[in-house]
A = this chain, B = another copy of it.
Amino acid sequence: MPYFISGVTADHTNLIARTPDEFKSMNDIDVLPRHRVTSIDPDEHTVTVRDLTSGRDRVEPYTRLLLSTGAEAFVPPVEGTGLEGVFTLRRLGDSLRIKRYLADARPRRVVIVGAGPIGMEMCESFSTLGLEVTVIDMAGQVVPYMSPEMAARVQARIEEEGVNCILEQSISSIQGKSDGTVGGVVTGSGEIKADLVLLAIGVRPVSKIASDAGIELGAKGAIKVDAHMRTNRQDIYSAGDCATTSHIITGRQVWLPLGSTSRKQGRAAADNMFGGDAEFGGVQGTGILKCFDLTVGRTGLDEAQAIEAGFSPVAISMEAESLHEYYPEGGIILLKLLADGRSGRLLGAELVGQMRSVAEKRLDILSVAITAGMTADDLQYLDLAYAPPYSTAIDIPVIAGNIMSGKIRGGECGCGPQGLD
């Protein structure tokens, strides 16, 4: 949706993975738009469905039921969130409304509340459209889930593009103009004028209909499921942004809603609902975003999470060119890698790189290595694909493995890329 708003994606219908008609013609699945399930009876194996057009309720039986109610944007409990020109960005309709408001009301100043992934992507989208952008976050940094030194890079880059960052501030209210449209956001340090406000604070699982039916909730109020995507009630499954999952490294129950996870959970749930035996392997918090020409990504645990899970994390940071200097298309990547000081096991990674550095490749390499339980020593000997247009002869994850291995052994061979080249 950020790319539809900025115009990179020309046609919003491309954002619809499949229409109800396509579900019918391709898979013989009946999709009932404008119908709401108002309650579930797990004992009777029925749901009550309201046809929103006619207003009539009916009871539908099920053999197996999937709850894929998703998540909804969190709207902070402050005055003014209902003003015209105040938006969240969660559903396709939100982006259509934002696009229409941009065309009709011609806002000049935009305030984005929340400097997470959506906030960062929308900094780029609104800036691309020529708007004055301010981003506000309660945390002392942008991308609050990244280490401060990584976040500092991102902040510097968006400020270079003219984005105004206001940190360690929460909003106390949203003010209107005399015409009823939004006029500004009030924080502890004063009012920031705004013709459009985007609330990008996060999402909450839609799980009330489940808990009302006696289905157990788990982490962050999401619907609790096991690796087979089963809830605590017979024949009721859940998948997607409404459901919990387990963390690959810690084994603990977590709620980390992401589109990629939803797809995999949905497939596992479907397999099991039709008699299969699929175990969804969990997640490790891999995430990535593009903001202007920067790629910002992470996977695994951060230091606090690693300590909390009983590890003794050792961190290394390095900065390297993605290609040898003689091949002209590379870029700089900043990498922070975390491993357990006792076992050497890789625990987490954060990267910030220019788009041209293909930082996402190094992130996915490290993500797979972490999932596989590899150690820093293993990382040193990965057989990655080398040719000058793609990487240096030993690529950044391998160099990071060298440095980490040395640091864990007490620094005796912790040389950086300079010492290796």
Contacts and interface: CB of A to CB of B under 8 A. Distances in A.
Interface of A: 3-4, 8-9, 11, 14-15, 17-18, 117, 121, 248, 258-264, 267-268, 271, 276, 280-290, 295, 297, 299, 324-328, 355, 358, 360-361, 363-365, 367-369, 371-374, 378, 380-391, 393-395, 398, 402, 413, 420-421
Given A121-B387, A260-B386, A368-B382, 10 more contacts: A3-B326, A14-B325, A17-B421, A259-B386, A262-B393, A264-B394, A284-B383, A299-B383, A371-B383, A372-B374
A18 B383 contact: no
Contact of A387 (B14, B289, B390, B402): B289
Contact of A3 (B264, B276, B327, B365): B327
Contacts of A290: 387, 389-390
Nearest to A415: B267
B260 A326 contact: no
Contact of A358 (B261, B358, B371, B382): B358
Query: Lowest 9 CB-CB distances: which A-B pairs, in order?
Result: A372-B372, A281-B381, A288-B385, A14-B326, A260-B386, A361-B361, A9-B326, A368-B368, A286-B383
A385 B287 contact: yes
B286 A384 contact: yes
A388 B3 contact: yes
Given A327-B8, A360-B361, A383-B283, A398 B368 contact: no
A8 B323 CA distance: 13
Contact of A363 (B276, B369, B385, B398): B385
Count copies of this chain in the complex.
Answer: 2
5 contacts: A11-B326, A14-B325, A281-B380, A283-B383, A364-B365
A374 B371 CA distance: 10
B271 A413 contact: yes
Contact of A299 (B9, B297, B373, B385): B385
Given A3-B327, A14-B326, A371 B364 contact: no
Given A264-B380, A369-B372, A402-B267, A288 B387 contact: yes
A184 to B, nearest CB: 31
Contacts of A369: 368, 372
A383 B367 contact: yes
B360 A390 contact: yes
Contact of A364 (B262, B280, B327, B384): B384
Contacts of A11: 326
A386 B3 contact: no
A11 B324 CA distance: 13
A261 to B, nearest CB: 8
Nearest to A402: B267
Nearest to A298: B385
A381 B264 contact: yes
Nearest to A4: B326
Contacts of A9: 326-328
Contacts of A280: 381
* Most chain B beta-carbon contacts within 10 A, residue among A117, A258, A372: A372
A383 B8 contact: no
